[in-house]
């Protein structure tokens, strides 16, 4: 989102500075018709700052104690024992059928890009707490779907910290043939 919106924040700053320069250069008195131009640059700086804070606060970080998923206003720590599966799929897999309406217009270009899917095991109360903290756009059913810059690297890093072979096919001997 930062890459797409930084143009508009920069445009507001540039237009605000140019308009304020024209107002000062032409020595026009500040009136109700032209005072709006003086607010463009500060609003552009605020918008750019808000998007930077959003960028810094929204991340996924594998820690030693668990997987930390952070959004703008909240974060949650998921223990590795409660992670059932980690995989990489296109983000559109998470937004099928009725959930398609929950996709923000700005996120639509990300639907075709790979995202990190983390499936969580736990009782209903634990899943409800995670859903409340992350919101219904990130968490649905028992899966967290997150668009991250490098989903494959994040998946490998998380999988490396999972308890050995938990929840995966552990192999075994061949099945014995049925007697006839």
The answer to whether residues 48 and 82 belong to one domain is: no
Among the three residues 32, 56, 80, which one is the final residue of a domain in this structure? Answer: 56
The answer to whether residues 86 and 17 belong to one domain is: no
Residues 6+ apart with CB under 8 A from 75: 68, 69, 133
- pTM beyond 0.75: no
Name the 3-class secondary structure at 92: helix
User: Pick the residue with more confidence: 118 or 4?
Assistant: 118
pLDDT of residue 100: 65
| Sole residue written with tokens 């859903």 | 131
Rounded CA-CA distance 43/137 in Å is 28
Q: Average pLDDT in the 129-146 region? A: 85
The answer to whether residues 7 and 73 belong to one domain is: no
Domain of residue 24: give its range.
2-56
User: Pick the residue with more confidence: 44 or 30?
Assistant: 44
Q: Is the predicted pLDDT of residue 81 greater than 70, yes or no?
A: yes
How would residue 2 be classed by pLDDT, with cut points 50, 70 and 90? low
The answer to whether residues 71 and 43 belong to one domain is: no
Q: Is the predicted pLDDT of residue 29 greater than 60, yes or no?
A: yes
Tokens of 131: 């859903």
Candidate from 21-30, 63-72, 141-150 with smallest mean pLDDT = 21-30
């Amino acid at each position: 989102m930062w890459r797409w919106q930084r143009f508009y924040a920069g445009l507001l700053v540039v237009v605000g500075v140019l308009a304020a320069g024209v107002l000062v250069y032409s020595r026009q008195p500040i009136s109700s018709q032209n005072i709006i131009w003086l607010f463009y640059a500060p609003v552009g700086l605020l918008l750019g700052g808000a998007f930077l804070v959003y960028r810094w606060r929204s991340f996924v970080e594998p820690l030693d104690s668990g997987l930390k998923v952070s959004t703008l206003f909240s974060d949650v720590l998921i223990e590795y024992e409660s992670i059932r599966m980690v995989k990489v799929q296109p983000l559109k897999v998470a937004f099928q059928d009725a959930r398609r309406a929950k996709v923000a217009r700005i996120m639509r270009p990300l639907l075709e890009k790979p995202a990190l899917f983390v499936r969580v095991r736990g009782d209903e109360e634990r899943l409800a707490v995670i859903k409340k903290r992350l919101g219904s756009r990130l968490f649905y059913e028992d899966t967290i779907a997150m668009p991250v810059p490098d989903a494959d690297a994040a998946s490998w890093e998380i999988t490396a910290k999972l308890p050995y072979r938990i929840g995966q096919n552990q192999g075994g001997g061949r099945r014995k043939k049925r007697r006839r």
